[in-house]
Amino acid sequence: MRYLSVLLLVLLGMTACKKDPATGTLSLDFTASYGDEPLELLHSYLTPDGKEIQFSKSDFYLSDIYLIAENGDRLDLSPIEFVDLTSVSTNPSDAAKGFKLEFKDIKAGKYTRLGFGLGLNPTVNATKPADYPSTSPLSLESHYWTAWNSYIFSKTEGFLDTLGTGNPDMGFIYHTGMDDLYRLASVDIPIEINASNSNAIKINVDHKTILFKSDNALNIPASPINHNPNNLGPITQIMDNLVAALSVQIQ
């Protein structure tokens, strides 16, 4: 019995010395802007040609969010997230705080890259909202095109003053989707995860770039609404510009 007691004490000691690996928390804080100004819904901004423009909706899906460690290992954070900038752009204070995605229990260490997909990859896009529980971002019927057999990857909506009178007279609605419009984005950025503090990465989305990127600007009056699967031009521009509209910094 004495030997058994000694063995138990040794095993207990070994268990006590074996600590759980250190983990930390990372948040991605998405903010919306129009150029250098925070984006506020139904607030007027100027287009490059001096017309007034307002925004009423902005949201998008993220897919396959991941980090790359210093040793090259990939750490997957989340398969799907939904970023609703509309909900945080109703006033300047909320716009400054942004829309937060928080990831817990990340293995402590140094990471060098953040990456994700904009929209949904073809495998996920082949599914439907009915395939998911109501708690899933993919259950949103409002973000599915039945006629196109595709989720809506992003929504950018608002109003434009086409006549130069100071009063918006035309609504625009750009809903992107279809497998060919899925885009990948990544940024090399030093990220150190540890248990002693929370880490945050600010990702700003410049809506002036989404619509009026200097070498890829949309002609809103010519095509203010996209509901023709044979005319993917404007929404292809939106998704290409969305990648360019992202700017990232450590907070």
Question: Has residue 133 been placed in a domain?
Answer: yes
Q: Is residue 8 part of a domain?
A: no
Q: Give me the phi and psi of 229, to 5 degrees please.
A: -65, -10
> Residue 3 falls within a domain, yes or no?
no
pLDDT at 182: 98
The sign of the torsion formed by the CA atoms of 237, 238, 239, 241 equals positive
Alpha carbon distance 80, 140 (integer Å): 13
Per residue in 82-107, pLDDT tens?
999 999 988 888 888 899 999 999 99
pLDDT in tens, 21-66: 699 999 999 999 999 999 999 999 999 999 999 999 999 999 999 9
Q: What angle do CA 28, 89, 244 make, to 5 degrees?
A: 55
Q: What pLDDT is stored for residue 121 in this prediction?
A: 97
Domain count, the chain: 1
pLDDT for 251 equals 76
Residues (pLDDT < 70) of the chain are 1-21
Q: For residue 5, is it within any domain?
A: no
Q: Note whether residue 185 is domain-resident.
A: yes
The parent domain of residue 57 ranges over 21-250
- In this structure, is residue 173 part of a structural domain? yes
Using CA atoms, how far apart are residues 151 and 55, in angstroms rounded to an integer? 22
Number of residues that make up the chain? 251
pLDDT value of position 226: 86
Q: Which residues pair with 78 in a beta bridge?
A: 65
Residue 13 lies in a domain: no
Q: Is residue 165 part of a domain?
A: yes
Q: Give the DSSP per-residue string, 130-195.
A: GGS-TTSGGG-GGGEETTTTEEEEEEEEEEE-SSSSSS--EEEEEEEESGGG-EEEEEEEEEEEBT
What local confidence, expressed as pLDDT, does residue 21 receive?
A: 65
- By the 8 A CB rule, do 201 and 251 touch? yes
Sole residue written with tokens 């400054």:
96
